[in-house]
Amino acid sequence: MADIYHVGPSLPVPRGRLHGEIRQRMMHTFRERSGLPLEDHGVVVLQGGKTPHLYNSDNEPLFRQEAFFQHLFGVNDREDCLGAVDLRTGRATLFVPRLPPEYAVWMGRILSPAELQARYAVEEVRYTDEVAEALEELAPPCLHVLDGGVNTDSGLPMPPVSFQGIENFKLEKEALYPVLCECRVFKSALEVEAMRYACQVASRAHVAVMQAVKPGMWEFQAESLYLHSIYAGGGCRLPHYTPIFAGGPNAAILHYGHAGAPNDRQLQDGELLLVDAGADYYRYSADITTTFPVNGRFTEQQKLVYEAVLAANRGVIAAMKPGVRWPDMQLLAERTILAALERGGLLRGDVADMLEARVGALFMPHGLGHLLGLDTHDVGGYLPGHPERPEGAGLNRLRTARVLEEGMVITVEPGCYFSRALLEPAFGDPRLSSFLVDTALRAFVDLGGVRIEDDVLITATGAESLCDVPRTVEEVEAVMAGAPWPPAAA
Ligand code: LEU
C-alpha cells in the first residue's frame, strides 16, 4: 500500500490507519470536553515543521517533523506543510508547498497532490497558498490552534500558526493544546508497535556495544558502534536524543555527551560504562540505559551499587499498574536504593528518616522517569485536572506526577550516582551529614554511578517493559564474555 512507512526491511507502519485512529480519538476527546453541539465545533489547524537552517547559512540539517503535526498527520518527511481537521466531519486536509521546478534537480521528483494523498492517506491535499480559500469553503465557527501552549519540560511556547488571510478567521487558542497533549499520553496499538520496534532496535544496539567494549576504547568509539547498529540494523537514522556514553566518574554527570563533554574519555580497565541511548523510528523514541563494566566483570563495589539500582528498577516495574501514583514509585525506588546503601555501610540511620530528609535526591537527583512517545520527554506530564509538580528535592524533578493509566508509556530509570558536586556540600550540611558515612562514600566517588532504564507500557493489569537487554550481573557478564542475547533456548 502506498501509505506504508518503512526503511528497507524495517517495521511497516500503516500511516492512514495509525493517524486516522488518532484523529478520531482527538475528535472524540474534543467533543466530550467541550459539551458543545457538533455544528459549533471548528477546524483544527496545525503548522508543520519548517525547513531548518543552520543559523543564516544554507546548510539544512536533517528535517524532523514537529511532534503534534506528526501525531495528527504522519507527514514525517516533508517540511513547510499545514494541516487541518474539521471537527464536525473528521475530514483531514494536508497543505503542501507549491515547489519550484528546480526542486526536481536538487531534491528529487515533485509528487502530485494525488500521490501525496495516497502517501499520507488524508481526505484531501492542497497547496499552502490555498489555505485561506480552503478553510473559507468549510465556513468554520472558529479555528482551533496550538498557539502559545507551553511545554512543561522546556517552558517554551508553541509558535503561532501563520498563513495568508489568517486574520479573517476567529482563532480559539485555549482548548486544543490540553486535548492534543492528553491524546499523546495514551498510545494506540499501532503506536505501541512502532515504539516496541524502536526499543528492539535500541536494545540490540546496547547489546552490540556490550559485546565490543574493552579497556582502552574511547567513549565515542562505543557511541559510533551504537549509531551504526541502530541505522544499519534497524533503519533508525537518528538516536532521538544525544547519546550518553559515560565512563567511570562521568556517569555522575547526568547529561554527559553534549558538545562540551562529547563522550571523549578513554575507558579504563576496572571502570563502569553508562550508556543512555535511544532510537528514533518514525519519530517515536526509545530511551534505554544500560551500565556495565568495561572489562566484562563487576567488582564487589560496583555490584553493590548495580544490584541496588536493579532492585529499584525491577521493584518499580513489578508495582506499576493503573491507579498507581508516579511519585510513590519514585519513593519506592529511593527506599530500595537507600536501604541497600545502608546495608553496604555507606549510610547510617533509618531509611524513613532519610526519605523525609530527601537523602534520596543526593544519590538520584533526577526524576524516576518520564512519559515517552514522539518526544523523548513526551508531553502531558502536567495538565489541568492532574496532580501538580510535587515538592521536595528529587521529587520536584519529576516530569509527571500522574496516576498511571493503561496505554501510557513511561521510562523507569532509577540511578545511584556519587557526584562530588552534591556530596561535598552535603558533608557540610547538618540535615544530611548525620546519615552519611563520609569515608565510605568518598571511596565510591570514582565509580561514577549506575542507571538502569526501561521503557514500560502500562497494561490493563500491570506493566510490560518494551526493552530486551541483559540486566542481571550474571546476564551482563555472560553476554560480555561472548554469550548470545537473547540467550540460546535451553
Ligand atoms: N531522563 C532523565 C530526566 O528525567 C534524566 C536522565 C539523565 C536520568 O530528566
ipTM of predicted assembly, 2 dp: 0.95
Q: For residues 253 and 245, what is the distance between their CA atoms, to the nearest angstrom?
A: 11
Best CA proximity match to 249, nearest among 394, 438, 420 = 420
The residues, any chain, with a CB within 8 Å of residue 342's CB and separated by 6 or more, are: 348, 349, 351, 354
Assess whether the C-beta atom of 422 lies below 6 angstroms from ligand 1: no
Is the CB of 254 within 6 Å of ligand 1?
yes
Q: Are 172 and 42 contacting, i.e. CB atoms less than 8 angstroms apart?
A: yes
Ligand 1 in reach of 255 Cβ (< 6 A): yes
Of the candidates 98, 92, 99, which has an alpha carbon nearest to the alpha carbon of residue 75?
92
Which of 329, 363, 366 maximizes ligand 1 atoms within 8 Å of its Cβ, making it the mutation to test the pocket? 366
Short-list 252, 268, 345, CA closest to 301? 345
User: Nine-digit cell at 358?
Assistant: 530527601
The answer to whether the CB of 240 is under 6 A from ligand 1 is no
- Burial of residue 387 (CB within 10 Å: 0-12, 13-18, 19+) is middle
Cβ atoms of 74 and 18 closer than 8 Å: yes
pLDDT less than 70: residues of the chain: 1, 490
Give the pLDDT confidence of 218-236 residue by residue, as tens digits.
Answer: 999 999 999 999 999 999 9
Q: What is the pLDDT of residues 198-212, one digit of tens each?
A: 999 999 999 999 999
- Closest ligand 1 atom to residue 415 Cα is 8
3-state helix, strand, coil in the chain (%, to 5): 40, 15, 45
- Is 433 in contact with 426 (CB distance < 8 Å)? yes
Cβ-contact 52, 61 below 8 angstroms: yes
Measured CA to CA, the distance from residue 55 to residue 58 in angstroms comes to: 8
Buried b (16+ CB within 10 A) or exposed e, 167-193: eebeebbebbbbbbbbbbbbbbebbbb
Q: How many CB atoms lie within 10 A of CB 166?
A: 16
If DSSP codes are grouped into helix, strand and coil, which group holds residue 334? helix
Q: Is 78 in the pocket of ligand 1 (CB under 6 A)?
A: no
Atom of ligand 1 nearest to the CA of 369: 4
C-alpha cell at 161: 500558526
196 ligand 1 Cβ < 6 A: no
Ligand 1 centroid – CA 168 distance (Å): 44
Nearest CA to ligand 1 atom 1: 369
**Cβ atoms 88, 41 nearer than 8 A:** yes
- The rounded distance, in Å, linking the Cα atoms of 202 and 216 is 24
How far does the centroid of ligand 1 lie from the alpha carbon of residue 194, in Å? 22
Whether residue 334 contacts residue 317, with contact meaning beta carbons closer than 8 Å, is answered with no
pLDDT value at residue 340: 98
Ligand 1 centroid–CA 238 distance in Å is 19
Instruction: Give 144 Cα–ligand 1 centroid separation in angstroms.
Output: 33
Question: What 3-state class would DSSP assign to 83?
Answer: strand
CA pair distance 230, 237, nearest whole angstrom = 7
Q: What are phi and psi of 84, to 5 degrees?
A: -135, 140
CA of 254 to the centre of ligand 1 (A): 7
Residue nearest to atom 6 of ligand 1 (CA): 254
Q: Which of 241, 309, 370, 455 to mutate to test the pocket of ligand 1 (most atoms within 8 A of CB)?
A: 370
Task: Report the nearest atom of ligand 1 relative to the CA of 287.
Answer: 1
Tell me which residue has its CA closest to atom 7 in ligand 1: 254
| Residue 188, SS3 per DSSP | coil
Beta strand 92-96 with 124-127 is: parallel
Answer yes or no: is the C-beta of 367 below 6 A from any ligand 1 atom: yes
Q: Is 374 exposed, middle or buried (0-12, 13-18, 19+ CB in 10 A)?
A: buried
Q: Which atom of ligand 1 is nearest to the CA of 453?
A: 8
Whole-structure pTM value: 0.98
